[in-house]
Structure 1
Amino acid sequence: MGQILCGNKKPKSYTINNIVYKREKLIGEGAYSYVYMVKKNGKNYALKLIPLISPETEKIAKTEVYISKTIQHDSVCYLLDHEMIPQSNGLSTALLLFGYCNGPNLANFSGKLDEELLYDYFFQMLQAVQVLHCKYEVAFLHNDIKESNFMLTSDDGGRTYRVVLIDLGSCKATPIYINSRLEALRYEEIFQMECTSLYRAPELFQVPNPGVLGLGSDIWSLGCTLYSLAYGYAPFEGTALSAISANIKFPIDHSHHYRPIVQQLIRAMCNSERSKRPTIKSLIEQYPSS
C-alpha cells in the first residue's frame, strides 16, 4: 500500500477488520502518514495510513494506537478501529480509523481570531491537553503541540464549534529519566524528529544529563501556539539559541490588540526555566473569563 500511496493509483476503498470504507478524499498529510476522509453508511470517518517503512514509523504507529485506545474523551480524537496490513513489498501499513472532525484545523485562524474566540478556543485547547496530562494513571506528554494539531468540529450543523486534539503518535509517558549522555543525545534525536522546532521547548533541544523530563515542554508549546494564534507567526525561530534565550517580542501594531493577560500567559508558559512554568491544572483554574 505504501507504493500505491506514492503513485498515481489509489484504492477506492480500504478494509479494516473486514469492514469496507469508501475513500472520499485526502484531507491531511504528515511526515510519516496520510489522512483520508472515508465513508460508510453515509457517515464520515478519518482514516490515517502510516506506511511502516522503518522501526521509527512502526513505533509511532504503535504509540498512536496504544494512546488513542487509552484516551477516550470528546476533547481528544480517539481510535475507533485499526489494523496492520501486510503489503506485497514485505512491509506493512497501519490503518487507524478515527472520528471525523468536520471543521478546519486552528492553523487556518492564526492571527485572525477576535479576542472572544481566541479565549474560547485556547481554553478548550487547555482542556484537551489536560486530558493527557491529568485524567489517567500515566501522565502523557503530547510532544507536538501546535495549532495544526487542534481541529474544529461541530455537533450542531456549524452553529458552534469545539476543539479536538489530534495526532498522538509522538506522545510519551512521563516522567522520562535521563541517566547518561548517550540517552540525552538519543532523546534529542527523537525530539528533533517528532516535535516541530518552532514550538520545541529549550530542554528538548538540549536534553539535560542527568535529568528528568516531564510535562513542561507541552506548556512551552502551548505558549508558542497561543502566540501564533494571536499574532499569526511563531515567537521563536525554531533554533536552540532562540528557545533558550526565550526573548519574546510582541507586535506593536494596533491590529493585534488583546488584553494584557494574553501576553502574560504567553510569557508564563514560555519561561526558559521549566520549574517556573505553570501546570495545565493551574492554567485552567486561573484562566480569565472572556
Structure 2
Amino acid sequence: MGHALCICSRGTITINNKRYLSIHRLGEGGFSYVDLVEGLHDGRFYALKRIVCHDKDDRQEAMHEIEMHQLFDHPNILPLCAHAVVEKGSKHEAWLLLPFLKRGTLWQEVEALKDKGAFMPEERILAILHGLCRGLQAIHNKGYAHRDLKPTNVLLDDDDQPLLMDLGSMNQARIEVRSSREAMTLQDWAAQRCTISYRAPELFTVERDCVIDERTDVWSLGCVLYCMMFGEGPYDMIFQKGDSVALAVQNDLTVPQNTRYSPALECLLCSMMIVNPQQRPYIAGIICQLEEIQPPPAGQDTTRI
C-alpha cells in the first residue's frame, strides 16, 4: 500500500515519496471526487480519485477497486499509477492516481456532437467498439465482469482509443444464485452498483435459481453502442421521465429508423440486447460479428484481446 502525506497549505500531496500539485476539481460523485494534479517530479498531469471511506466496509470496497486495477495491463483499461489510503479525522480516504486524459469521456464526446447537430460516423463507432470489446474480453478472460459499463465510464485518449474506467463494481463473472435470499442480495447489490439505464434485464428481477454471468456487460455494451449511434442510451429518456426501466428492458429493443448506419451495425446492436441472457452472445461472439463488418486496422495487436 502506498504512503501519503497531505500538505494542504502548499496545495500538494505526496504519494510514494513523489509530490503532486493540486490544480482544480474535475468532478465528484456521492462518495468520491476527482482532482487534476501535476506531478512535480515529471511535469505530467494525473487524475487523483479520492474515495471517502466512512467505515471498514467502505475501505474494503476501495481496496477492491484498487485490486481490480492492478489485475490488468491492457491498452483499453485505465491503468493505476499509484495509490494510498490516508486518515482524514475519523474517516479514511483511498487515493487512486490515474492518468489524465484531456479529451474526457465518451459521453462528453456524444454530447458535443449532439450540440453540433451531428452524429458519430459508423467507421468511428466501429473503431471505438473494437477497443471496448478488447477491454471487456480482457476482464472476462480473468473471470470478472465490469457490471457498470456506460458512456461516462469510458475515456477517450488522443488516438480516439477507449479506456474502461471505474472498476469498483467489478465482481466475479459467474454468480450462481440458489435461493430467494441470494437472489434478493444480488438484486439489491445491482440496484446500488449498476446504473439503472444500462443495467441488464436479469439484474432487475433476479431469479431464485439461476446463473448471472458476464453477458450483463454485453447488454450494457449494446446500450453504449446505441448511445454512440443515436446520441443517448435506449433507456435514458425512460428513466428521466420517471417511467419503469425495469419494465422497458423486458421488451425487444426498437431501433429508430435511420439511413446513417448499415443494417449490419443495427443487427450487431440487436444481438447485444437480447433480453434472455442465455440467448445473448458472449463478448467473443460480438467480436466475430464486429470484425465481419470491419476488420481491425492493419498492424493492430489482436493478441492482447
Q: CA deviation at 1:59?
A: 3.6
Match of 1:268 in 2: 271
Q: Distance in 2 between matches of 1:23 and 1:148?
A: 23
Task: Between 105-114 and 90-99, report the one with greater CA deviation.
Answer: 105-114
Q: CA deviation at 1:32?
A: 2.4
Say whether residues 1:50 and 2:51 are aligned partners: yes
Q: Distance in 1 between matches of 2:208 and 2:63?
A: 28
Q: CA deviation at 1:231?
A: 0.3
Q: Distance in 2 between matches of 1:199 and 1:56?
A: 26
Aligned residues with identical type, % of pairs: 29
Match of 1:65 in 2: 66
Q: Distance in 1 between matches of 2:187 and 2:223?
A: 20
Q: Distance in 2 between matches of 1:253 and 1:173?
A: 38
Contact map agreement 2:183 2:208 (CA 8 A) in 1? yes
Match of 1:187 in 2: 186
Query: 5+ unaligned residues in a row in structure 2: which ranges?
Result: 1-7, 240-244, 296-305
Taking only aligned residues, the RMSD between alpha carbons, in angstroms, comes to: 1.9
Match of 2:299 in 1: none
Which amino acid in 1 is paired with 2:247? L
CA shift digits 1:240-266 (9 cap, x unpaired): 111122x32222355xx2001222112
Contact map agreement 2:137 2:284 (CA 8 A) in 1? yes
Say whether residues 1:250 and 2:255 are aligned partners: yes
Q: Distance in 2 between matches of 1:58 and 1:201?
A: 28
**Mapping of residues 171-250 of structure 1, within 5 Å:** 171-236=170-235, 237-238=238-239, 239-245=245-251, 247-250=252-255
Q: CA deviation at 1:57?
A: 3.4
Q: Distance in 1 between matches of 2:23 and 2:188?
A: 36
- When residues 56 and 220 of structure 1 are mapped into structure 2, their CA distance, relative to the original with a 3 A threshold, is farther
Which amino acid in 1 is paired with 2:155? M
Q: Secondary structure at the match of 1:250?
A: coil
Contact map agreement 2:80 2:96 (CA 8 A) in 1? yes
Match of 2:300 in 1: none
Q: CA deviation at 1:183?
A: 1.6
**Mapping of residues 1-290 of structure 1, within 5 Å:** 12-40=11-39, 41-54=42-55, 57-88=58-89, 90-110=90-110, 112-134=119-141, 136=142, 139-154=143-158, 160-236=159-235, 237-238=238-239, 239-245=245-251, 247-252=252-257, 254=259, 257-287=260-290, 288-289=293-294
Match of 1:6 in 2: none
Q: Secondary structure at the match of 1:274?
A: coil
Which amino acid in 1 is paired with 2:233? A
TM-score by length of 1: 0.87
**Residue correspondences, number:** 270
Contact map agreement 1:180 1:209 (CA 8 A) in 2? yes
Q: CA deviation at 1:99?
A: 1.9
Q: CA deviation at 1:153?
A: 1.0
Contact map agreement 1:83 1:94 (CA 8 A) in 2? yes
CA shift digits 1:55-107 (9 cap, x unpaired): 5533431211111011121210121211110111x110000111222322111
Q: CA deviation at 1:18?
A: 3.3
CA shift digits 1:103-152 (9 cap, x unpaired): 22111233631111111111111111111112x3xx11101011111101
TM-score by length of 2: 0.83
